[in-house]
């Protein structure tokens, strides 16, 4: 295909990109953004799409929309009007409301949670047979019916029992659901997705089949030590598309503009991260911090994981995030004095106007504090053993990061949110195309690969961070950077500090690291040194000797001073800004 127009309808902003073939290679030609318009007062998702495309039309000076500002022209005409393909992804709208029900909190319900976490969703209630005080009033059938009434779920995910294992408790839960379906008689009934003991499917269908939409899929836990989430994840994604995406005002029109299915943006992003990890044999983590949700996707050691928290956005869902995370946790990242009460007021104001933009340094630092905590929350969920994995590549996405005036600010959010150790490359999806590349790859893999390699990402630099802790001001590691034959930089990096060395984008250097005896650079042996070839970036090489896991000073004024110092060190000579690159 010679030209592809792709659009990402986000909860706040709609981004459009134009990819064109130039001298046999696909390149990102232009990008345009406009406010998303699925909600009031516009209530038509296509208005924002057209506006974003119009920005591209102005930038490239050719017509992409049919006369009168209609739909995208496809295929591209001989007169250079339109494009060969039009692709759409979306994360706009509300998440699926899900109630999960099952037998054991730590086994089947844990698997059910992981399955739900891969779709834009919100778990409103958990019904568990083995809940604490198993015979208490909260576990009575009446209490469970009440929970289902209050939860107003779109979906009930019922899991429980290994294949061929316990039947009776699952059937009893099923009876409770059947009672609840009668109670919900005058409301829209949820779809029940059964992903439990496969041998009682017929029985389940007999009980629930006539009462509501019922779908059975493979058991999420066919055996105690085997987890199989794929079928449940696929079905949840379908239900999200049907029950949420397709209900967005104007969505039907949008589907008529393209022959390709409209995917959730998170799915497309996951495909990108998975591809980059597998193709390059790297441990890759992608973090997309959005207004309504944060998506973390990882590919490491041959495994793919991802988690979406629809209550961990920095705008639309900020009020929910403030309920999940204590205010002190946001507060600890502020480099200036502000009472927790005032901070809470400001967070709630931001959630009243989620599309608003920070206008002062203080506003910006508050947004970064929120982004750090949202990221930490979702990284923990996507990769519970994250401290065991040395990430080779971090990809940051979402406007919270990409619109920042300084690359150092985006880098600090990513480093503090993910806490990489060893030697890690930091990149930013500065053009906003990251969410679309997975879907573009489905119709033209070479175009997606070419854009991913050449245009999509802004290389921020390389982070070098040892695991371990020492005494403040004492040696954490000795580093030697060889830029060329006679150009060598050597320095002792002290515990508690961050240092930075310039290495412009496109240049390479040899890095020798000799950690002190309490520190491990990722070789599994404290004190053992390493040599690595590193590539440059906007910030060059960042030596982060604050230790892992990260510990912030407890004293408020000391902590504030350090936060300022760390950012200042990283920002020095960072004229740079993401917008100029």
Q: Which stretch binds another protein (CB under 8 A): 64-72, 159-167, 357-365, 419-427?
A: 357-365
Closest separation between CB of residue 406 and another protein, Å?
7
DSSP SS3 for 509: strand
Q: How far apart are CA 51 and CA 411, in angstroms?
A: 31
Closest separation between CB of residue 456 and another protein, Å?
21
Verify binding: residue 42, another protein, rule CB under 8 A.
yes
Verify binding: residue 54, another protein, rule CB under 8 A.
no
Q: How far apart are CA 531 and CA 519, in angstroms?
A: 16
Verify binding: residue 242, another protein, rule CB under 8 A.
no
- Number of neighbouring beta carbons within 10 Å of residue 108: 30
Answer whether 9's CB lies under 8 Å from 90's CB: yes
- Which whole-number Å values give the CA distances from 569 to 322, 346, 429, 546, 564, in the listed order? 30, 28, 23, 13, 9
Looking at beta carbons only, is 557 or 580 nearer to another protein? 580
Looking at beta carbons only, is 76 or 317 nearer to another protein? 317
Applying CB under 8 A, among 77, 202, 210, 247 the residue interacting with another protein is: 247
Looking at beta carbons only, is 428 or 541 nearer to another protein? 428
Looking at beta carbons only, is 182 or 554 nearer to another protein? 182
Max Cα separation, the chain?
Answer: 80
- Number of neighbouring beta carbons within 10 Å of residue 105: 15
Looking at beta carbons only, is 24 or 41 nearer to another protein? 41
Looking at beta carbons only, is 253 or 579 nearer to another protein? 579
Q: How far apart are CA 266 and CA 144, in angstroms?
A: 32
Verify binding: residue 23, another protein, rule CB under 8 A.
no
Verify binding: residue 348, another protein, rule CB under 8 A.
yes
Verify binding: residue 337, another protein, rule CB under 8 A.
no
Q: What x-and-dash track marks residues 375-414 binding another protein by CB under 8 A? A: ----------------------------xxxx--------
Verify binding: residue 363, another protein, rule CB under 8 A.
yes
Applying CB under 8 A, among 79, 106, 137, 360 the residue interacting with another protein is: 360
Verify binding: residue 324, another protein, rule CB under 8 A.
no
Q: How far apart are CA 296 and CA 390, in angstroms?
A: 16
Which of 390, 388, 394 has the alpha carbon at shortest distance from 530? Answer: 390
Binders of another protein in range 154-173 (CB under 8 A): 154
Q: How far apart are CA 450 and CA 23, in angstroms?
A: 12
Verify binding: residue 355, another protein, rule CB under 8 A.
yes
345: its two tokens: 């007021």
Applying CB under 8 A, among 349, 387, 564, 573 the residue interacting with another protein is: 349
Looking at beta carbons only, is 87 or 365 nearer to another protein? 365
Q: How far apart are CA 222 and CA 351, in angstroms?
A: 42
Verify binding: residue 94, another protein, rule CB under 8 A.
yes
Applying CB under 8 A, among 255, 356, 507, 569 the residue interacting with another protein is: 356
Phi, psi of 2 (to 5 degrees): -80, -30
Verify binding: residue 205, another protein, rule CB under 8 A.
no
Verify binding: residue 341, another protein, rule CB under 8 A.
yes
Applying CB under 8 A, among 3, 90, 97, 427 the residue interacting with another protein is: 97
Applying CB under 8 A, among 58, 70, 261, 342 the residue interacting with another protein is: 342
Question: Residue 197 has what DSSP assignment?
Answer: -
Looking at beta carbons only, is 383 or 430 nearer to another protein? 430
Closest separation between CB of residue 342 and another protein, Å?
7
Binders of another protein in range 250-309 (CB under 8 A): none
Q: How far apart are CA 18 and CA 7, in angstroms?
A: 9
Question: Residue 246 has what DSSP assignment?
Answer: G
Verify binding: residue 358, another protein, rule CB under 8 A.
yes
Residue written as tokens 């928290």? 309
Query: Which value, in Å, is the radius of gyration of the alpha carbons in the chain?
Result: 25
| The three-state (H, E, C) secondary structure of 8-57, written as one string | EECCCEEEEEEEEEECCEEEEEEEEEEECCCCCCCCCHHHHHHHHHHHHH
Verify binding: residue 179, another protein, rule CB under 8 A.
yes
- Which whole-number Å values give the CA distances from 404 to 222, 244, 458, in the listed order? 46, 31, 13
Q: How far apart are CA 192 and CA 201, in angstroms?
A: 12
DSSP SS3 for 532: strand
Q: Enumerate binding residues for another protein (CB under 8 A).
A: 35, 38-43, 93-94, 97, 140-142, 145, 152, 154, 175, 178-179, 182-183, 186-188, 207, 247, 249, 316, 318-319, 341-342, 344-346, 348-361, 363-364, 403-406, 577, 579
């Amino acid at each position: 295909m010679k030209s592809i127009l792709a659009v990402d309808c986000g909860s706040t902003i709609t981004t459009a990109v134009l990819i064109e073939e130039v001298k046999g290679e696909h390149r990102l030609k232009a990008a345009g953004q406009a406010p998303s318009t699925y909600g009031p007062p516009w209530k038509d998702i296509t208005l924002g799409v057209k506006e974003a495309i119009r920005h591209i039309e102005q930038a490239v000076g050719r017509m992409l929309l049919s006369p009168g500002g209609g739909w995208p022209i496809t295929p591209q005409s001989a007169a250079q009007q339109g494009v060969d393909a039009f692709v759409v992804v979306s994360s706009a709208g509300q998440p699926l409301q899900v109630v999960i029900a099952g037998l054991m909190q730590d086994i089947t319900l844990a698997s059910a949670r992981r399955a739900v976490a891969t779709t834009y969703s919100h778990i409103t209630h958990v019904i568990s047979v083995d809940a604490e005080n198993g015979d208490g009033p909260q576990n009575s059938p009446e209490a469970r019916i009440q929970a289902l009434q209050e939860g107003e779920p779109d979906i009930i995910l019922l899991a429980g029992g290994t294949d061929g294992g316990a039947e009776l408790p699952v059937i009893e839960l099923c009876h409770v659901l059947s009672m609840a379906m009668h109670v919900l008689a005058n409301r829209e009934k949820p779809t029940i997705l059964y992903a439990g003991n496969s041998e009682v499917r017929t029985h389940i269908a007999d009980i629930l089949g006539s009462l509501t939409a019922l779908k059975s899929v493979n058991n999420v836990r066919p055996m105690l030590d085997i987890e199989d989430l794929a079928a449940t994840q696929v079905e949840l994604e379908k239900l999200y598309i049907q029950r949420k995406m397709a209900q967005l005002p104007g969505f039907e029109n949008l589907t008529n503009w393209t022959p390709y299915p409209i995917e959730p943006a998170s799915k497309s992003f996951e495909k990108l991260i998975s591809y980059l990890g597998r193709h390059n044999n790297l441990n890759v983590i992608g973090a997309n911090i959005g207004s309504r949700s944060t998506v973390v996707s990882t590919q490491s050691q041959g495994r793919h994981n991802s988690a979406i928290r629809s209550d961990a956005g920095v705008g639309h869902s900020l009020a929910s995030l403030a309920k999940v995370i204590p205010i002190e946790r946001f507060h600890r990242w502020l480099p200036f004095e502000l009472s927790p009460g005032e901070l809470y007021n400001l967070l709630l104001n931001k959630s009243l106007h989620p599309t608003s933009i920070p206008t002062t340094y203080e506003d910006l630092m508050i947004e970064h504090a929120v982004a750090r905590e949202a990221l930490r929350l979702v990284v923990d969920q996507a990769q519970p053993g994250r401290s065991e994995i040395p990430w080779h590549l971090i990809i940051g996405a979402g406007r919270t990061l990409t619109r920042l005036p300084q690359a150092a600010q985006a880098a600090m959010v990513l480093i503090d949110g993910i806490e990489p150790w060893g030697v890690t490359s930091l990149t930013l999806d500065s053009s906003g195309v990251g969410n679309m590349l997975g879907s573009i790859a489905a119709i033209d893999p070479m175009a997606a690969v070419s854009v991913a390699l050449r245009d999509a990402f802004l290389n921020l630099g390389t982070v070098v961070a040892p695991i371990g802790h020492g005494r403040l001001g004492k040696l954490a590691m000795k580093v030697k950077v060889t830029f060329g034959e006679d150009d060598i930089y050597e320095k002792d990096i002290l515990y508690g500090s961050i240092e930075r060395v310039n290495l412009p984008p496109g240049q390479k250097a040899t890095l020798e690291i000799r950690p002190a005896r309490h520190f491990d650079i990722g070789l599994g042996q404290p004190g053992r040194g390493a040599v690595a070839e590193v590539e440059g970036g906007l910030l060059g090489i960042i030596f982060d000797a604050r230790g892992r896991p990260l510990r912030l000073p407890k004293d408020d004024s000391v902590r504030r001073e350090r936060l300022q110092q760390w950012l200042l060190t990283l920002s020095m000579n960072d004229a740079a800004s993401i917008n100029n690159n």
